[in-house]
């Protein structure tokens, strides 16, 4: 919503009515909830639990065990 500059100055000087303040609080709460939901969704999508690295660790473990066995001989 676009307000004229004179109306914006009036609101700056005299503040919001109770109804306007409640509406602004509701909008801020809805925006915060949407942002929280987005962060949770992105966290699940790109979170640490989704990374796939066990294959490399398994290969490193096999190479390490082969090195240990060859040094024991």
| Token pair belonging to 40 | 């949770």
Q: What's the rounded Cα separation, in Å, for the pair 64 and 24?
A: 61
CB 36 within 8 A of CB 44: no
Residue range 35-53, pLDDT digits in tens: 999 999 999 888 865 555 5
Q: What's the rounded Cα separation, in Å, for the pair 24 and 18?
A: 10
What is the overall mean pLDDT for the chain?
78
Q: What's the rounded Cα separation, in Å, for the pair 52 and 58?
A: 12
Total-model pTM:
0.47
| Token pair belonging to 3 | 């307000």
DSSP code for 50 = G
């Amino acid at each position: 919503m676009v307000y004229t500059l004179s109306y914006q100055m009036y609101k700056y000087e005299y503040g919001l009515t109770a109804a306007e303040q409640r509406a602004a609080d509701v909008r801020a709460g809805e925006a915060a909830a949407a942002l929280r939901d987005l962060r949770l969704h992105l966290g699940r999508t790109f979170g640490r639990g989704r990374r796939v690295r066990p294959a490399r660790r398994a290969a490193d473990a096999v190479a390490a065990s082969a090195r240990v066995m060859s040094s024991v001989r």
